[in-house]
Amino acid sequence: MLFSSIPFLFYFLPCVLILYLIAPKCLKNTVLLLSSLVFYAWGEPRYVIWMLLAITLGYIFGLLIERFKEKKRISKLFMILSVASSLAMLGYFKYVDFFIGNFNAITGLSIPLLKIALPIGISFYTFQILSYTVDVYRGNVAAQKNPIDLAAYVALFPQLIAGPIVRYSDVAEQLKSRTHTLEKTALGARRFMIGLGKKILIANILGELCDTFRASDDKSVLFFWLYAVAYSLHIYFDFSGYSDMAIGLGKLFGFDFLENFNYPYISASITEFWRRWHMSLGSWFRDYVYIPLGGNRVSRMRHLFNIFVVWMLTGFWHGAAWNFIVWGLFFAVLLMVEKLWLLKYLKKSRVLSHIYVVVLIIISFVIFDASSMGQAFSYIGSMFGAGGYPLVSTEFLYYLRSYGVVLILGIIGATPLPKKLWNRIAATGIGSNIMTFAEPIALSALLLCCSAYLVDGSYNPFLYFRF
């Protein structure tokens, strides 16, 4: 079930909210857990058992780690077993066919692929369980004694399938007690509808343009660039839209999730970009991989090695294919170059540094979206005139005119300008009164437009099935 679907918007969510509101305080987490299991089972009921198994192992290991905290060796052993079991489950479902395929390619053997379907959200809930047991081992949090509360945290449907990666330490107290106010509910509903609009009215439409490009026989250099720009905006609005919806839904149920995006396309370096893009993933790898490896408090060569490892794993986390690994290593190289010498030059011109970031990010997402590395190199080469394509084609001009308005809205929406304008208007007395009246109308109209699109259209892809 997708957030951006009629069944979720008009059946599942209203029913869950009603049940949650009428449930006594002691049963609210139970309602959330059962609702989350129904949500997860909607599309793939057989994988519920695997998620419950992962939760059960995390719960048991958390208790054992804390039980033997005075005996460091035993406690560490249970922590290692917890990490190993979580990674083994993730590896089996997500990466086993990748390794078999590459082994066959190297050895010439023909070991059959297992063709295992990837459980939705397994990368997200695996990382949540890992952070929980590691934090218990580090003494950052106490082991959760109530299995319902821990299960509700891991399976919580607002952030289950697309993040953000919510750490147990951030919501431990909220699982015990959280506030529900009319203001918080209103903020949650507002945030959800904005995210829904980003997903349906911008991401989906630009996704259609990308699909049209892939199927076109009338490509040109500028058409390749149009596709690359459209896909870069598509993935941003898709992912940030889902994060907005998750944060909004969290508020409806009393949770405060951390932000996941902070206008990454306004960055003046790749280093800054990754401080603004998918922040929950970046901070996770920083705290559980980069810093344990030594971070930057080591020799220069070891520091560069740590960056290499982190970004190889970051790419691999996104998908079991070489283009994701290369995508991660692409950023590893850029970050190394910036840290060694480039950052001081980027600071001299905000305009040139911004152009540098935008061009490289666009190229990176061509790699990310490619079905193979051969296609990635072909597309990138064609963007710079190496494919033998003309500069302009008829289809490029047609689709530029057709999608031009959405592209402009996407470019503007990827900057803080709309928010700054809104805040400036709201800061005035008259503007505040107008906004108080106009905002509910605008949000209602947005929901109506999104609903109409979902009823009338069939294009509603979900990028994160691969994650």
Q: 316-373, pLDDT tens digit by residue?
A: 999 999 999 999 999 999 999 999 999 889 988 889 999 999 999 999 999 999 999 9
The contacts of residue 224 (CB under 8 Å, 6+ apart) are 213, 379, 382, 383, 387, 389
Report the pLDDT value the prediction gives residue 463, as an integer from 0 to 100. 61
**Mind listing the pLDDT tens digit for each residue in 10-30?**
999 999 999 999 999 999 999
Residues 250, 106: one domain?
no
Pick the catalytic residue: 180, 303, 318, 354?
318
Backbone angles phi and psi of 140, in degrees to 5: -75, -30
Answer yes or no: is 159 within a domain: yes
Please, which contacts does 66-71 make with residues 24 or more away whose CB atoms are closer than 8 Å? 66/136, 66/142, 66/143, 69/137, 69/139
Answer yes or no: is 53 within a domain: yes
Residues 95, 55: one domain?
yes
Task: Quote the percentage of the chain above a pLDDT of 70.
Answer: 98
pLDDT for 459 beyond 70: no
| Count: domains in the chain | 2
Between CA 308 and CA 262 the distance in angstroms is 24
Answer yes or no: is 292 within a domain: no
Token reading at 89: 């489950």
Answer yes or no: is 463 within a domain: no
Domain boundary among 129, 161, 178: 178
Answer yes or no: is 336 within a domain: no
Q: What share of the chain is helix, strand, coil (3-state, %, to 5)?
A: 75, 0, 25
Report the pLDDT value the prediction gives residue 5, as an integer from 0 to 100. 87
pLDDT for 464 beyond 60: no
Residues 54, 192: one domain?
no
Question: What mean pLDDT comes out for the span 274-294?
Answer: 95
Residues 107, 218: one domain?
no
Please report which confidence band the pLDDT of residue 461 belongs to, taking 50, 70 and 90 as the band edges: low
Between CA 417 and CA 412 the distance in angstroms is 7
**Mind listing the pLDDT tens digit for each residue in 167-183?**
999 999 999 988 889 99
Residues 174, 188: one domain?
no
Residues 234, 118: one domain?
no
Domain boundary among 157, 178, 199: 178
Query: What secondary structure letter does DSSP report for 253?
Result: T
Find out whether 306 and 293 touch, Cβ atoms under 8 Å. Answer: yes
- DSSP letters, 389-420, are --S--HHHHHHHHHHHHHHHHHHHHTSSHHHH
Between CA 31 and CA 23 the distance in angstroms is 8
Q: How far apart are the first and last CA of the chain?
A: 16
**Mind listing the pLDDT tens digit for each residue in 86-114?**
999 999 999 999 999 999 999 999 899 99
Measured CA to CA in angstroms, residue 11 lies from 17, 18, 192, 228, 388 at distances of: 10, 11, 16, 37, 52
13 lies in which domain range? 6-178
Domain boundary among 178, 206, 221: 178
373 burial type by CB count under 10 A (0-12 exposed, 13-18 middle, 19+ buried):
middle
pLDDT for 51 beyond 80: yes
Residues 150, 221: one domain?
no
Between CA 460 and CA 234 the distance in angstroms is 12
Q: Is 318 a catalytic residue?
A: yes
Length of the chain: 467
Residues 236, 101: one domain?
no
Average pLDDT of the residues of the chain:
92
Answer yes or no: is 110 within a domain: yes
User: Can you tell me which residue has the tokens 């020799």?
Assistant: 299
Residues 163, 195: one domain?
no
Answer yes or no: is 158 within a domain: yes
Residues 91, 221: one domain?
no
Residues 42, 188: one domain?
no
pTM: 0.93
Answer yes or no: is 111 within a domain: yes
Residues 172, 200: one domain?
no
